[in-house]
Amino acid sequence: MASNGNNHVSTKPPPEPSPLRKAKFFQANMRILVTGGAGFIGSHLVDKLMQNEKNEVIVVDNYFTGSKDNLKQWIGHPRFELIRHDVTEPLLIEVDQIYHLACPASPIFYKYNPVKTIKTNVIGTLNMLGLAKRTGARILLTSTSEVYGDPLMHPQDETYWGNVNPIGVRSCYDEGKRVAETLMFDYHRQHGIEIRIARIFNTYGPRMNIDDGRVVSNFIAQAIRDEALTVQLPGTQTRSFCYVSDMVDGLMRLMEGDNTGPINIGNPGEFTMLELAENVKELINPEVKIITVENTPDDPQQRKPDITKAKELLGWEPKVKLRDGLPLMEEDFRGRLGISRKK
Ligand SMILES: NC(=O)c1ccc[n+]([C@@H]2O[C@H](COP(=O)([O-])OP(=O)(O)OC[C@H]3O[C@@H](n4cnc5c(N)ncnc54)[C@H](O)[C@@H]3O)[C@@H](O)[C@H]2O)c1
Ligand SMILES: O=c1ccn([C@@H]2O[C@H](COP(=O)(O)OP(=O)(O)O[C@H]3OC[C@@H](O)[C@H](O)[C@H]3O)[C@@H](O)[C@H]2O)c(=O)[nH]1
């Protein structure tokens, strides 16, 4: 039976899969749905899942922040399907596993239409849990370090209940993800659904939107374009940055393992935003200026995962250090921006 290290675990068996599930269009052992699979983390996850010839992968995405470009190597592949679909609408397909990622992740995009962000987190997660219930599929939710809010505990472990503003401009996302976690556990306890919850900490890497608005993509694009790096005040706030290949490895181990989570997946290396800017400057463009600009409300002042649980239960820890990951992302950004390194 799955465990999460506390008492919130169901003893009910998961529902029987629908007989339709056996009607596969390809002789694959596992049909896997990735919601939000056209996005940054989702498309890297799809690449990894497609490497296994026993997997069929179905992506659903509404392309709000994702792009078909991220999946272009798979379009037309017999084990791959791409469906334009919004998870706030019901989805009737037959699957064995669901990686539920669909949700804008950058604060700029999740604040753009906050009501839609809540709908995506609440109705979207309800729909995917309904699909899991009908098909007997195991479902993994990509929750977030933002469930800890502006944390009073440092580093954050999974027992911490968080310090979240329920009526602030970030609430559509952080409270939305908290409700999504609640729904996952209620479906687990009430219906025996096999659930997995990952609490993801800031992740970066190739394929992030150039105008995504998150700090690593902003600084790298600014450094390449010879624009000043915009450190939001006070600049001493911290984050922990995980390279995307490590993240995908952690998510797959969680899905395949026996633990419901929630489990933190992130890199415990902690940097202030000024330190991040200095690293980007040194590695990518030593001439670039660093300036400070106004911040946005409710910005968490510190964030660092305690990954003891991931190490013990998943045998997982990140391998790529920030100073090794940044140049890999630079190469991808230079290619897309068409700006090569000065000699
Ligand atoms: N990248 C991070 O640092 C980070 C940190 C914590 C949690 N997460 C979570 O991981 C997941 C993926 O994040 P990402 O960084 O790849 O972001 P992303 O914005 O690149 O990807 C999200 C994808 O979801 C799609 N989407 C959004 N709303 C949808 C809807 N209603 N219906 C269908 N598709 C929809 C978008 O078009 C996009 O392709 C998100 O759930 C996010 O909350 C990411
Ligand atoms: O140009 C910038 C952008 C951002 N920042 C700062 O960088 C820090 C990180 O901001 P980001 O926008 O990258 O992301 P956040 O850490 O606030 O949220 C992130 O982490 C948790 C995930 O769930 C979210 O999906 C993700 O956006 C903040 O303190 C912000 O003020 C800058 O200093 N300059």
User: For ligand 1, is residue 105 a contact (CB within 6 Å)?
Assistant: yes
Please give the number of the atom of ligand 2 that sits closest to the Cα of 222.
Answer: 1
Q: What pLDDT, on a 0 to 100 scale, did the predictor assign at position 341?
A: 86
Structure tokens at 26: 């390809």
Q: What pLDDT, on a 0 to 100 scale, did the predictor assign at position 200?
A: 98
Q: What pLDDT, on a 0 to 100 scale, did the predictor assign at position 181?
A: 98
Mutate-to-test residue for ligand 1 from 47, 58, 60, 65, highest number of ligand atoms within 8 A of CB? 65
User: For ligand 1, is residue 260 a contact (CB within 6 Å)?
Assistant: no
Contact by Cβ (8 Å): 278, 320 = no
Q: What pLDDT, on a 0 to 100 scale, did the predictor assign at position 19?
A: 58
pTM: 0.94
**Ligand showing the shortest atom-to-Cα distance for residue 265:** 1
Which residues are the active-site residues?
Answer: 173
User: So what's the ipTM on this one?
Assistant: 0.98
User: For ligand 1, is residue 59 a contact (CB within 6 Å)?
Assistant: no
Please give the number of the atom of ligand 2 that sits closest to the Cα of 108.
Answer: 12
| pLDDT tens column, 133-184 | 999 999 999 999 999 999 999 999 999 999 999 999 999 999 999 999 999 9
Q: What pLDDT, on a 0 to 100 scale, did the predictor assign at position 1?
A: 46
Structure tokens at 187: 């479906």
Q: Report DSSP state, residue 149.
A: B
Q: What pLDDT, on a 0 to 100 scale, did the predictor assign at position 22?
A: 58
Handedness of CA 164, 167, 173, 178 (dihedral sign): positive
Q: What pLDDT, on a 0 to 100 scale, did the predictor assign at position 28?
A: 60
- Maximum Cα interatomic distance, the chain, rounded to a whole number of Å: 63
For the chain, list residues with pLDDT below 70: 1-7, 17-28
CA of residue 287 to ligand 1 center, whole Å: 33
Mutate-to-test residue for ligand 1 from 44, 48, 64, 110, highest number of ligand atoms within 8 A of CB? 64
